[in-house]
Structure 1
Amino acid sequence: MKETFYRSHVLVCTGTGCSSAGAQKLKFELEDQLADRDLQDEIKIVETGCHGFCEKGPIIIIYPEGVFYCEVDVADIEEVVEEHLLKGRTVDRLLYRETDTEEKIPTYQDIDFYKKQQQIVLANCGKIDPENIDEYIARGGYEAAGIALTEMSPEKVVEEIKNSGLRGRGGAGFPTGHKWDFAHQAQSEKKYIVCNADEGDPGAFMDRSLLEGDPHSVIEGMIVGSYAIGADEGYIYIRAEYPLAIERLEKALKDARDYGLLGEDIFGSGHNFQLHIKEGAGAFVCGEETALMASIEGKRGMPRPRPPYPAQRGLWGKPTNINNVETYANVPFILREGADKFREIGTEESPGTKVFALTGKIQNTGLLEIPMGTTLREVIFDIGGGPDEGKEFKAVQTGGPSGGCIPADYLDLSIDFDSL
C-alpha cells in the first residue's frame, strides 16, 4: 500500500470538553474548506483527545509549525485555511495571550500553562489519533508489553514495579508493586485484573480524558499487570456517563485483539489475556473496590469488610488486582524506560508525576500533569494563573468529597502522598 505524505497536519481536539464547545463542527468545516480547495490529499485532519487547556477550547494545533490556536469558532476556519494552510501566515488573533502580559504565544510548549508540566501519562494525549493503534505503536506503544512478556519473568516484572516506587494514583497511594506481589503469590487456577475507571468525584475528569485521548496506554498497562500476577481475564469498570471514552476504548480493544495483543498466546509468550468493558450505572459508592467488584458480578454495589482483601478473594471469590486508570498508564513508561528513570521524577517517597483536573474559580482550568513534589502555589498560580482578577485565593479542595479544603497558609505545601 502506497504511503501518503501530507505537508500539514491539523490536530483538532475532540475530547469531551472541546466537543461540547463545538469541535466537531470545526472539523466538518475544515473538511469542507479543504475539499473546496482540493487540499484533502495535502493536509490531514486528525481528531485527538484532550490537550489539557480546557479553558481555551476548542483548540486546534497545526504541524509542522506547532501553532496553537484557541477558542476557535466555525467562522474562523476559512481564514485559518486561507491564511495559514495556503499562505503560511499565522492568524494572530487566534493565538493564546498570556493572562498577565497579553503577549501572544504561537506554540503551546511556550505557554505558561504547559511549561511546568512533565508528561508521562498524558504524553500522547492531544498528539495522536486515539482511534488509530498504529499511531500509538509509532510512539513506542506495546513495546513495554513486548519486553515484559518475552524478556522478563512475572517475578521480574513485579520487582521492577516495586523498584519504581509507583504508588496507586487512585488516592490512597498504596505501593503498586506490593499490591501486584500479593496477587502474584495468591494460589488459584483463575485470577482477574480490574481497572477502576469509575471516576465519581465532582470536577474530576482525569480518567475520562486519558481514556478518550490514549486508551491503549491503559490496555498495555493491564496486559503487563495480567502477566505479572497470572491473570487471564480482566475488566475495565467505567461509568456509562463517559460515552466517548467507552467508544474509543471499544475501538482500542478491537484493534488490540486484531493485532494479537489481546487473546491467546500474546507475543508467542504463552500468556493468554481477555479484557472486557463493564459499564457502571453512576453509583458513587462503586468507586470503592469491593463495591465495584460486586457490581461487575451483577450484584448491588455494596462495600464489604476487609479482610479478605481482593488479592486473596476478589471477583467471584478469585484473587483479583485492582488499580485505577492513571496507575496502569504509568506502567508502560516504567517497563520501557526503567524503574530508575521513573524515580528521577518526583520525590523519594512519591516518584513520578500526578495528573490533576484543575477546576473552579481560576483563570486556567484544564487537565495537567506535574512532577510529585510540585507545590500547590505553583499549580494554582504558575499553571492555573491564579484566581480571577481582583479576587483573593481562599482555599483549594483536593481529593473530591473525601478530601479536604487547604487554605492559603499551606500554599507552599508539596504535592505528594505523605505531605498532602
Structure 2
Amino acid sequence: MSENLSYLSGRKGLHENLFEISYQLVQANGTPDTQQMQQIAKEYLIGDANIYSTYSFYDLLRPENKNKKAYVCNGSSCLCAGTQSMLKTELKKYLKEEEIGEMTCLGRCHENSAFHYNGHNYSGRDVDDIASVIKSKTVPQEVYATKASGTSVLMQTALTAESFATYLQHLFTLRPGQVLNEIKKAHLRGRGGAGFPMGFKLESTKKAKGKHKFIVCNADEGDPGAYSDRYLLEEQPLRVLLGMLIAGYVSCADTGVIYIRAEYPESQMIIKQSIRELGDQNLLGDNILNSGFSFGLKLIKAQGAYICGEETALLSSIEGQRPEVRIRPPFPSQQGLFNMPAIVNSVETLANVPFILKHGGDAFKRIGTSHSKGTKLVSLDSSFNKPGIYEIEMGTSLKTVIEQSGSGFRKDVKALHIGGPLGGLVPVSNIDSLHISFESFAENGFLLGHASIVGIPESFPMIEYIKHLFQFTAHESCGKCFPCRLGSTRGSELLQKATESDYKIDRQLFSDLLDTMQQGSLCALGSGLPLPVQNVLQYFDRELEDYFE
C-alpha cells in the first residue's frame, strides 16, 4: 500500500508537495477539519485515513497543539542542566499554561534554558527578560565556541556564491566517474551515526534506473545534545548545498531536497536565502554554467518528529505519508523518494564532499584512523567550561577533547551520554580508553553517533535519566513495529511505577524487554535505546538497587 501511495504523491512532484500543503493549511487556519482532509485526499487520490494519520502524527500539526504559543525544550542536556522548570515558571507569567508546549532539543545545548516563541529560538540569558522577547521581534545574537583542532575540513572560511562557482567550474572539468572514485578513495563514512560508506550509496544510485533521481539531505537528525548540523546549516550553508550538488553530479540526480527540523527555524531561513542566492547567480537550475548539467534544490520544513531522522521515514514524510519506517530491501538508492532512486545523507556527510573535490580523496584519507577517515564535529554541552562545536581529527583521544577543547567540566559529572539518546552512556572513569572514531566506541560497547556529548551531573539520578530515554522513545516511535512501540511504553511504565511506589522491577523481565527491542525493532530508535540503558545497568547498578529486585 505504501508503495502505491508513493506513486500517487509523486504525480504532482515537489512543486505541489502534499506534505507542504499539509503544514501550510495548519499555519493558515489550524488543523483542517474532516471535510478539508477529505478534499485533500480526493485531490491526491489518497485515502481519508492516510491524510488523518499524517496530521495526527507530527507535533506541530496535531489539533492539541493548535493554540500553543511557546515551546519549552525537553532535550537531554536541558533536562540535566535543570533549567527548564524555572523557565516554565517565567513563561507562565506572560502566557497561559495551555499556550505552552514542549519541543525535543532546540540545539541550544551550550547554554540551556531553551525555548521557542513566535518562530524563533531563545536560550541562556533570554530567560531573564521574557517580557522583551514577547514584545519584541528581534532575536538576540547567539554566541558559542567554534574551533578546529588540526586539519580543518568543515570549519574553513564560509563559501560565497563566487567561490561556489569556482568549485563548480572545476567539477565540470571532471567526469562523474572521476569524482566518484575520489569519494570512494577518501573512505568517507556517513556522519549521521551508522557510518555507512558514502561512495557505495552514490555508485548504487548512479547505476539505478529511474526517470528522476534525488539527493536528500537529512537535516532532521535531531539527537538531543547534538547541534553540529545547526552549525553547518547556519554558518556553512553553501558548503552543505555544494555537497548536495556534487553528489547529484556524481549520481546523475537532477533534484536535491533538504529536509530541515522544525526546531531549527533559523537554519531553515538561512538555507532558504542561500538557495535563492544560488538561483539568482544561475548556479542552480537548468544547464548550470553551460555545463549541460541541471540540478534544482528544494527546502522542506519538517513539523516535529524525531523518527524522520531515519532515512525511510523521512522519505515517507516528504511524500505526505505518515512517517513510518520502511522495510529494506528495497533500499532508497534503488527505490526511494516517490519510488525513484534517492541518496539520503546527513548534513555533515555532504559538507565533507567539497574538500574531497578540491584536495582529492588521498588528502582526506590521510586524516584519521584506519577505519575512520577525516574529521568529526563534536558538540559539547553546558557541562563543559567551554561548550561549543569543535572539529576534531578522527583518532583524537576523548580525554584531549574534554580537557583541551572543552577545558574540562564546570561541575561534577559522573557520565557522558555520547551520540544522542541512542548512543552509549560512558562513565567518566572510561574516558581514557576512548578516542573519536567509529571503531573505538564500538569496541568498547558504546556508539559515536553524532558525537554529541551531554554531561550527566553527579546529583542527577540515573533512574530518572533512563526513564527519560524510555519516555522519549515512546513519544517519538512511529508505531510500525511492536518491539519499539510497546517496549518503550512498557519500559517507561515499569520505571515510573518503581520510582513512585514500592514496586521492584524484575531484572529478567527488564532484560528480556531490552533484548526484544534490540533484536526485533525495525530501525535504530527501538534497537538503539537498549544500549545506554544497558550501560547504566552495567556501570551504575548501585544507583538502581532500590528499584530492582
- Do the two structures share a fold, i.e. TM-score over 0.5? yes
- Report the counterpart of residue 438 of structure 2 in structure 1: 417
- Report the counterpart of residue 293 of structure 1 in structure 2: 315
Indicate conservation of the 8 Å contact 1:53/1:364, yes or no.
Answer: no
CA distance in 2, matches of 1:396, 1:142: 42
CA distance in 2, matches of 1:234, 1:344: 30
1:136 aligns with 2:169: no
- Report the counterpart of residue 152 of structure 1 in structure 2: 174
1:356 aligns with 2:389: no
CA distance in 1, matches of 2:149, 2:381: 18
Indicate conservation of the 8 Å contact 1:171/1:399, yes or no.
Answer: yes
CA distance in 2, matches of 1:53, 1:368: 14
- Report the counterpart of residue 230 of structure 1 in structure 2: 252
Indicate conservation of the 8 Å contact 2:110/2:380, yes or no.
Answer: no
How far 1:410 moved relative to its partner? 2.7
Could you report, residue by residue, the CA deviation over 1:4-27 in whole angstroms, capped at 9, with x for unpaired residues? Answer: xxxxxxxxxxxxxxxxxxxxxxxx
Identity of aligned residues (%): 44
Indicate conservation of the 8 Å contact 1:261/1:267, yes or no.
Answer: yes
Letter of the 1:146 partner, please give it.
Q
CA distance in 2, matches of 1:264, 1:116: 40
Indicate conservation of the 8 Å contact 1:53/1:367, yes or no.
Answer: no
CA distance in 2, matches of 1:54, 1:120: 23
- Report the counterpart of residue 257 of structure 1 in structure 2: 279
How far 1:340 moved relative to its partner? 1.3
How far 1:215 moved relative to its partner? 0.7
CA distance in 2, matches of 1:120, 1:213: 14
1:240 aligns with 2:247: no
Indicate conservation of the 8 Å contact 1:239/1:279, yes or no.
Answer: yes
Match runs of 1:20-39 below 5 Å? none
1:270 to 277, 281, 292: 292
Indicate conservation of the 8 Å contact 1:144/1:333, yes or no.
Answer: no
Q: 1:114 to 1:154 in 2, by over 3 A?
A: closer
Q: 1:169 to 1:297 in 2, by over 3 A?
A: same
Task: Count residues in correspondence.
Answer: 304
1:361 aligned counterpart, secondary structure? coil
How far 1:366 moved relative to its partner? 0.8
Letter of the 1:411 partner, please give it.
I
- Report the counterpart of residue 330 of structure 2 in structure 1: 308
2:286 aligned counterpart, secondary structure? strand
- Report the counterpart of residue 425 of structure 2 in structure 1: 405
TM-score (norm 2): 0.53
Higher strand share: 1
- Report the counterpart of residue 120 of structure 1 in structure 2: 153
Indicate conservation of the 8 Å contact 2:187/2:373, yes or no.
Answer: yes
- Report the counterpart of residue 33 of structure 1 in structure 2: none
* Coordinate RMSD, CA, aligned: 2.4
Could you report, residue by residue, the CA deviation over 1:202-244 in whole angstroms, capped at 9, with x for unpaired residues? Answer: 1211111211111100111111000111111110000122111
Q: 1:115 to 1:146 in 2, by over 3 A?
A: closer
Match runs of 1:152-171 below 5 Å? 152-171=174-193
- Report the counterpart of residue 34 of structure 1 in structure 2: none
How far 1:292 moved relative to its partner? 0.1
- Report the counterpart of residue 77 of structure 1 in structure 2: none
Unmatched 5+ residue regions in structure 1?
A: 1-51, 56-70, 74-107, 129-134
- Report the counterpart of residue 105 of structure 1 in structure 2: none
Match runs of 1:11-410 below 5 Å? 114=147, 116=149, 118-124=151-157, 136-137=160-161, 140-148=163-171, 150-388=172-410, 391=412, 393-410=413-430
Question: Looking at both structures, which has the greater relative contact order when contacts are Cα pairs under 8 Å and sequence separation is at least 6?
Answer: 1
- Report the counterpart of residue 5 of structure 2 in structure 1: none
Could you report, residue by residue, the CA deviation over 1:82-106 in whole angstroms, capped at 9, with x for unpaired residues? Answer: xxxxxxxxxxxxxxxxxxxxxxxxx
Could you report, residue by residue, the CA deviation over 1:47-88 in whole angstroms, capped at 9, with x for unpaired residues? Answer: xxxxx9966xxxxxxxxxxxxxxx999xxxxxxxxxxxxxxx
CA distance in 1, matches of 2:270, 2:240: 12
CA distance in 2, matches of 1:277, 1:159: 29
TM-score (norm 1): 0.68
Higher helix share: 2
1:312 aligned counterpart, secondary structure? coil
